[in-house]
Chain A
Amino acid sequence: MASTILEMRDITKTFPGVKALSNVNLSVEEGEIHAVVGENGAGKSTLMKVLSGVYPSGTYEGQIIFRGQECHFKGIHDSEHIGIVIIHQELALVPMLSIAENIFLGNEHATYGVIDWDANETRTAALLKKVGLKEDPKTLITNIGVGKQQLVEIAKALSKEVKLLILDEPTASLSEKDSQALLDLLLEFKRQGMTSILISHKLNEVNRVADKVTVIRDGRTIETLPRKDISEDRIITSMVGRSLDDRYPPREPQIGEVIFEVKDWSVYHPIHAERQVIKNVNLNVRKGEVVGIAGLMGAGRTEFAMSLFGRSYGRHITGEVLLRGRPLDLSSVSRAVENRIAYVTEDRKTYGLNLIDHIKHNVTLANLSGVSSRGVIDDMREMSVANDYRKKTNIRASSVYQLTGNLSGGNQQKVVLSKWLFADPEVLILDEPTRGIDVGAKYEIYTIIARLAAEGKAIIVISSEMPELLGITDRIYVMNEGRIVGEMAASDASQEKIMRAIVRGEGKKAS
């Protein structure tokens, strides 16, 4: 039997007014991949911050025992020193420095402050080989993709002689292919005897690599499942505290006439003017219909949506948009909003929310005229609107005065949705509406989508999760390299069919 490398005992962490962790226990054995799962806000990240010393010893209760020694970390430096390295969801690389510079940042091979570049680069090359990254150590971080950046982070962790590697949602922003490669790498490390903790929302990934799964809910450890008991259904039941027989809410589509039409939509890249990003896209949405746009990352779906929405992306935009047969002026975002088109961004933190302001102000931002007269805001009306939408979309917060930056991903997404619902659109474009949010919140978002469709709105959902599209839409367009390469009713669509459409589309281009 393998020895226990890490034990966290009865960890309790209190923030002013709220207990984030309550007697959490976690026991990790040497050489295993231990997954920690739980809904957003369950306390996974807090637990990892306790472990890595972000919250220093003394600010929490409980014990951390690493390789038989009780540890009192004063900061990240202490935990890294004994071999616990955490890779955060948001990568911490300096974009304008090279791979080698990033890997040895703060840890350079140097004598009296003079850096030995050759040594750094030789070691970097060796580390990159270990993680299977074929890049020159001199390449700038900004010039490589997110998937490769993730590998650089791992190489950086390896350079610190890591004994316990913690990965916080490592595949959240990776494509399917990069995710697979990363998981393979984890398994390879395991063969070499390294221990890792994997925090993930993607249960299929957990299913694939984890030896054990610890489920955390509401700041408490629910259970630790051994390999043989790991199944998606089992984990979901444990995560949400109830069984989710159906991951998608039932709905009876009431589909009417075509109300939204896009004809011959073409868009060129904002910087590389000769590159056509969107190529003659035609699509339509009917009243009460949920239409999906499937495709791989980089297929041009977000670019398409943003170019529609007030020309927020690209240039030399040509084509026509019709609402109930009448040409629409979408030349600016405010025009688009006036014409009752809404776009819910895929990147809520960068494009969706003012994170330093509270829920109330975020909800009304796209429709301030709805709570004001002659430019003067009616505070009471705004308040009731905010509370109303907080109830409607089930935003979990102590009040509408909570800063959106302090909300979990799912609740942030509900705030963005509320903002656009209050703008009262007829056509709603949702870009990756459930990215990075937990199972429970996903279900709530699906319910809201179903309700909107029932109210007769036309809805477009862009999603990279094919099961989701199959589960909630009525019709699916498949997009690849800026072109619509397939259209099918959801009822006779399948993941294979969608993939085939994508591949055929690529084949066509090659011939």
Chain B
Amino acid sequence: MSTESAPAPQSGVAEDVKQGPRVAVSALTANLREYGLIIALIVIMLFFQYTTSGTLFKPVNLSNLVQQNSFIIVMALGMLLVIVAGYIDLSVGSVAGFIGALAAMMMVIWPLGIFSNPLVVSIVCLIVGALIGAAQGYWIAYHRIPSFIVTLAGMLIFRGICQALLGGGSSVGPLPDSFKALSSGFIPDVIGPLTLIPPTVNAAGKTIVGSGLTLHMTTVVLGLIAVLAYAYFGFRTRRKRERHGYEAEPFPLFVIKTLVGSALALFLVFQFASYRGLPVVLLVMGVLISLFVFVTKRMTIGRRIYAMGGNAKAAQLSGINTERLTLLVFINMGVLSALGGLIIAARLGQAVPAAGLGSELDVIAAVFIGGASAMGGVGQVIGAVVGGFIMGVMNNGMSIMGVNVDWQQVVKGLVLLGAVIFDVYNKNKA
């Protein structure tokens, strides 16, 4: 009886509550988590912008930030689905390490001829990632072994294989430049640069590095297209909802949201454009994020994952093949772990035995900071991404500030705990 609802609206008691302002308030409170999270990210960024005397938002640092944290966010996309489905995956860091080692061995050590081509190697590695995900998912889905245990085993197994592959403690490299571009490359400027302020030339006739302002026009154009598309689709969805007579969020709120989002995006685009353009890995990430937002919000398979995490038995009795769905969720996680491993290796330029060590915890933390429920059934892709960036900005900002790594961990732990306490508090209040 604890779930008994308040009396029905027809019942008389509820009628004295006005409908109008309630819609606005409920739209705000319903999205409090989402807005709160983004506001938190902005506050944290401003804080570090201040404490690092403006270093955080420097174009070169923004590029670094993205390149350092992209693998966490890529893996967080998969982890979000795993956690929403009601499971956990502790093996992602080890799988990433193992895939990095495999890629390095294939490209540098093993005589594979044309198969050591970075593109071929990457595809093979993603397939191996899928197989690893399938191997773990099989036991979880069809034999109902708890995911915590299966992936804990996976964590030990793949870290071990990673180290064995690399022959004990040694690292393998250097990796080809074309492979490293995945992490440290920038998209080519097909349109050509636009110089707004010519660089200062000193007396010796040399240009001073960092002076002047030249924009990477391809980045600018891509950024503008993305922002316009964001505003256009937001507006179109809103119109469509209104036409069908369904309550949308209040117009001013929508405008503010769109303006703030666009301004933020344009600012970042400008910063990237004034350095070397859009990092390749940011483009990869952007595509993946859009894809996962679409899958979770609009596709039947996404809906089924939420239903399974919310009540697996009810989902099964609604005709959802929960075993196969579980397997798919882990295969997806395996592929994204592999991609994460490739990104790590590409950034380091070599494979090291400790690659990705402990990153599973950062990935899981990002998902929980992003508002996912440990019980399954609740969580948003954007939340996990923002959660990942919050972790990344804190890492980056504290490193620039010169905070000791030990204390960085303490702070990250407190932020994770705080975010979840905020969630639980909100839920109880509702």
Q: Which A residues have a C-beta under 8 Å from some C-beta of B?
A: 15-20, 22, 40-46, 88-90, 168-169, 199, 218-220, 309-310, 312, 332-334, 336-337, 343, 345, 349-357, 361, 365-366, 368-369, 372, 375-377, 379-380, 383-384, 396-399, 402, 405-409, 411, 419, 423
Contacts and interface: CB of A to CB of B under 8 A. Distances in A.
B300 A333 contact: no
B14 interface: yes
List 3 tightest A-B contacts by C-beta distance, closest first: A396-B8, A354-B310, A18-B6
Contact of B317 (A46, A351, A368): A351
Interface of B: 1-14, 16-17, 22, 240-241, 244, 246-247, 298-301, 303-304, 306-307, 310-311, 313-321, 373, 377-378, 430
A333 B318 contact: yes
A406 B6 CA distance: 8
A69 B81 CA distance: 55
A309 B306 contact: no
Given A45-B4, A333-B316, A336-B319, 9 more contacts: A16-B430, A20-B13, A45-B2, A355-B3, A356-B311, A365-B315, A372-B300, A377-B298, A407-B3
A375 B301 contact: yes
A18 B3 contact: no
Contacts of A16: 430
Contact of B318 (A20, A41, A366): A366
Contacts of A345: 317
B244 A368 contact: no
10 contacts: A20-B6, A20-B13, A219-B11, A333-B317, A350-B313, A355-B3, A366-B318, A376-B298, A406-B3, A407-B3
- Of the candidates B240, B304, B311, B317, the one having the most CB atoms from chain A within 10 angstroms of its own CB is B317
B7 to A, nearest CB: 5
A312 B2 contact: no
Nearest to B11: A218
Contacts of B316: 312, 333
Contact of A399 (B17, B247, B318): B247
Given A334-B319, A376-B299, A399-B247, A354 B4 contact: no
A375 B318 CA distance: 17
Contacts of B247: 399
Contact of A20 (B7, B313, B373): B7
Contact of A219 (B7, B298, B303, B307): B7
Contacts of B303: 361, 365, 368, 377
Contact of B5 (A168, A356, A408): A408
A74 B9 CA distance: 30
A20 B430 CA distance: 15
Contacts of B306: 354, 357, 361
Given A334-B321, A351-B313, A357-B306, A88 B301 contact: no
A40 B4 contact: yes
Contacts of B14: 17-19
Contacts of A219: 7, 11, 13
A22 B13 contact: yes
A420 to B, nearest CB: 9
A17 B299 CA distance: 33
Nearest to B247: A399
A357 B307 contact: yes
A375 B296 CA distance: 11
Contacts of B17: 17-18
Nearest to A400: B246
B173 to A, nearest CB: 42
Nearest to B8: A396
A45 B1 contact: yes
Contact of B307 (A20, A41, A361): A361
A15 B22 CA distance: 13
- Of the candidates B2, B5, B303, B378, the one having the most CB atoms from chain A within 10 angstroms of its own CB is B5
Given A354-B307, A396-B9, A408-B5, A384 B317 contact: no
A44 B304 CA distance: 36
A41 B17 CA distance: 18
A419 B315 CA distance: 12
A70 B224 CA distance: 67
